[in-house]
């Protein structure tokens, strides 16, 4: 009989230890149905023994392709009297595409000498709906809109407006006289403002971009957006290729259609625009040396394709013909 009690006691201890080592993972939204653009919380909860070392992976930008993370995770933990540690991670999320979405199970991971063990949650579901416009109530009676009633103006209220009108008339009168007098003294020649050449504008913008130090501050996407805008504006000013609203492929095709040859300098432009697309749309993170290289390539492209100034062209012609020699 004594042995039976000993066996029962040992078995109860094993059950207690097993229950104490239980790990439970759950994930859920704070509501199961939202409208497009609504913000909700997605919570991951892990219940575990206090002394157990677990790794809980965290989401970065999205839960899945159409569920975006706005902020988080916000991590909190609490231990109850039974020695169970509860770890909670909250994300603020939203969606701009309607539909019913299934979030895959999340897990907590335990690494030990025996190997890798994972504890999974269940699936989480969210229904994103469009906002439907309610039909007009055809049963309601429609009344005419009544204009607001205005009290008659008093002389004290009219006087400031009369003074303002008189003052404005006087100012307009003297302005008209001044303009007529200035026109009489004009020589009749209009001042023609010659805009800067396309390459001068591009070089100035590139210098400003370098001084802003965007990629050094971590603003990589903004840096490549500005770099490609400068090149596209240069193509518009230099070759009349209006590419600010075109894709890279459409821009290169339009440039070739304008008479530009597919030579080495063409490939330099293609390399810069394609590399910028990788950063802006494919979330590619370039090395610092690549940032400098793309900048130098943009500069070289403008330098190689800039329009030769008239004075420089004339000097070259005079040198070849021997004119101007002493």
Q: Do residues 28 and 105 make contact, with C-beta atoms less than 8 angstroms apart?
A: no
Structural domains present in the chain: 22-129 (2.60.40.10), 198-310 (no CATH)
- The per-residue pLDDT for 228 is 94
Residues 309, 287: Cα–Cα separation, whole Å: 37
- Per-residue pLDDT tens for 7-64? 444 444 444 444 445 899 999 999 989 999 899 999 999 999 988 888 888 998 999 8
Residues 52, 192: Cα–Cα separation, whole Å: 80
- Per-residue pLDDT tens for 103-132? 999 999 988 888 888 899 999 999 999 887
- The per-residue pLDDT for 220 is 92
- Per-residue pLDDT tens for 62-90? 998 989 999 989 999 888 877 788 999 99
First to last CA, the chain: 131
- Per-residue pLDDT tens for 227-272? 999 999 999 999 999 988 899 999 999 999 999 998 999 999 999 9
SS3 57: coil
SS3 21: coil
- The per-residue pLDDT for 156 is 79
Give me the chain's average pLDDT, please: 83
């Amino acid at each position: 009989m004594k042995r039976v009690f000993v066996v029962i006691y040992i078995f109860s201890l094993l059950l207690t230890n097993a229950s104490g080592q239980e790990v439970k993972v759950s994930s859920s939204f704070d509501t199961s149905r939202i409208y497009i653009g609504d913000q909700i919380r997605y919570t991951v909860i892990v219940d575990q023994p206090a002394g157990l070392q677990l790794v809980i992976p965290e989401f970065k930008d999205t839960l899945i392709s159409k569920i975006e993370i706005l902020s988080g995770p916000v991590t909190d933990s609490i231990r109850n009297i039974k020695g169970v540690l509860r770890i909670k991670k909250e994300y603020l999320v939203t969606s701009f595409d309607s539909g019913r979405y299934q979030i895959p199970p999340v897990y907590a991971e335990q690494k030990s000498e025996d190997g890798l063990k994972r504890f999974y949650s269940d699936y989480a579901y969210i229904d994103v709906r469009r906002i439907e416009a309610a039909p007009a109530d055809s049963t309601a009676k429609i009344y005419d809109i009544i204009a607001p009633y205005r009290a008659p103006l008093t002389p004290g209220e009219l006087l400031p407006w009369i003074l303002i009108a008189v003052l404005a008339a006087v100012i307009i009168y003297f302005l008209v006289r001044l303009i007529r007098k200035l026109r009489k003294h004009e020589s009749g020649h209009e001042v023609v403002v010659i805009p800067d050449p396309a390459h001068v504008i591009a070089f100035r913008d590139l210098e400003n971009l370098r001084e802003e130090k965007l990629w050094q501050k971590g603003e990589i996407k903004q840096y490549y957006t500005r770099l490609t805008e400068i090149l596209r504006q240069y193509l518009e000013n230099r070759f009349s290729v209006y590419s600010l609203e075109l894709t890279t492929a459409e821009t290169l095709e339009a440039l070739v259609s304008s008479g530009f040859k597919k030579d080495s300098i063409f490939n330099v432009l293609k390399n810069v625009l394609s590399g910028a697309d990788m950063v802006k749309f494919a979330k590619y993170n370039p090395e610092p040396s690549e940032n400098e290289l793309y900048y130098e390539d943009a500069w070289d492209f403008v330098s190689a394709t800039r329009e030769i100034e008239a004075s420089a062209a004339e000097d070259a012609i005079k040198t070849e013909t021997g004119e101007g020699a002493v």
